[in-house]
Structure 1
Amino acid sequence: MEQRLSLITLGVSDLKQSRQFYDRLGWQVASEEQAEEIIAYNLQSMCLALYPLDKLMEDTTVRAGRDGYSPMTLAYNVNSEAEVDAMLEEARKAGGEIVKPAQKVFWGGYSGYFADPDKYLWEVAFNPFSPLGPNGAFQWGGVESE
């Protein structure tokens, strides 16, 4: 198995509300063809899909508890502390909940967290030890130039 991800699918409680949230963040839907059933966003190197939680549980045959926040995080890395602050504000204006304001962190970077309408946690981070490559490409320790 290659060390990569192709698609992250989030089970959402309200597909329309979730789409509106990501639309307000400025994201573009990959296709309107099945937008009543699944929403997909093409990212730089993978895809993020939103799918009704009940359908996802049916598909995976796993029951998911939705009492609180998801026990995973999605990370969005940027090039500066100022960009972290700006992205968190953009998420707040789009309807996201700031769960941890941006601050300097123990590993030497700067980050904060917001939750989307289904309480999926997003970390917005500036990591001075892992500079981004072209088109925002991220690799642990930085993107090697060719």
Structure 2
Amino acid sequence: MEQRLNMVMNPVRDVAALRAFYEGGLGWNTWGPEMPGSVMYRLGTAVLVFVNRDYLAKEAGIDVAETSRIINAVFVSSKADVDTQMAKVVAAGGTITSPVRDRDGGLYSGYFADPEGNCWEIVWSPHMPVGADGGLTLGGQ
């Protein structure tokens, strides 16, 4: 079974500042169409969508204070990719919330928070090898 892209949306106060962090600091490239006050990135199996907090709350019909942050996992294709991404986080001024380490089940990952406090796990899994098309596959199937 192919691992499909996961789309996550995070509300932000300052989209320009996050663009500087992710594009300038981490070197992530924008992907897909943009709406005013938003930006999309693709990394590993995730599409990361950053949307202006007020806009997202209005569209969702909720109070802006209820647009809580969550921890998002971004799967990469090797342990070296985890190390590379985490080093970029440090250089860009992000906060390492849990250093890179080997975990149960053979996982290798680390956690960081961006300037707005959005939390991310960068993870490599031995259960998600890279397929012939370059995409990650679940369970080697």
TM-score normalised by the shorter chain: which range applies? 0.7 to 0.9
Percentage identity across aligned positions?
31
What amino acid maps onto 1:140 in structure 2?
L
Partner of 1:29: 30
Distance 1:54 1:130 in 2: 36
Partner of 1:100: 98
Unaligned runs of 5+ in 1: none
1:41 aligns with 2:19: no
TM-score, with length taken from structure 2: 0.76
> In the TM superposition, what whole-angstrom CA distance separates every residue of 1:96-131 from its partner, at most 9, and x where no partner exists?
211000111122221111112222221112212221
What amino acid maps onto 1:127 in structure 2?
S
Distance 2:32 2:70 in 1: 29
The alpha-carbon deviation at position 48 of structure 1 amounts to 2.7
1:74 aligns with 2:45: no
Partner of 2:118: 120
Task: Give the 3-state SS of the residue equivalent to 1:89 in structure 2.
Answer: helix
Distance 2:133 2:21 in 1: 23
Contact 1:57/1:63, CA 8 A, preserved across alignment: yes
Unaligned runs of 5+ in 2: none
Task: Give the 3-state SS of the residue equivalent to 1:141 in structure 2.
Answer: helix
Residues 74 and 108 (structure 1), Cα distance of their counterparts in 2 relative to 1, 3 Å cut? closer
Distance 1:31 1:108 in 2: 33
Task: Give the 3-state SS of the residue equivalent to 1:21 in structure 2.
Answer: helix
TM-score, with length taken from structure 1: 0.74
Aligned residues: 138
Task: Give the 3-state SS of the residue equivalent to 1:29 in structure 2.
Answer: coil
Distance 2:59 2:97 in 1: 30
Residues 96 and 54 (structure 1), Cα distance of their counterparts in 2 relative to 1, 3 Å cut? same
Higher relative contact order (CA 8 A, sep 6+): 2
**In angstroms, what is the RMSD of aligned CA positions?**
3.1
Residues 104 and 20 (structure 1), Cα distance of their counterparts in 2 relative to 1, 3 Å cut? same
Residues 74 and 52 (structure 1), Cα distance of their counterparts in 2 relative to 1, 3 Å cut? same
Residues 138 and 22 (structure 1), Cα distance of their counterparts in 2 relative to 1, 3 Å cut? same
Residues 49 and 134 (structure 1), Cα distance of their counterparts in 2 relative to 1, 3 Å cut? farther
Distance 1:41 1:129 in 2: 24
Q: Which has the higher helix share?
A: 2
The alpha-carbon deviation at position 138 of structure 1 amounts to 2.4
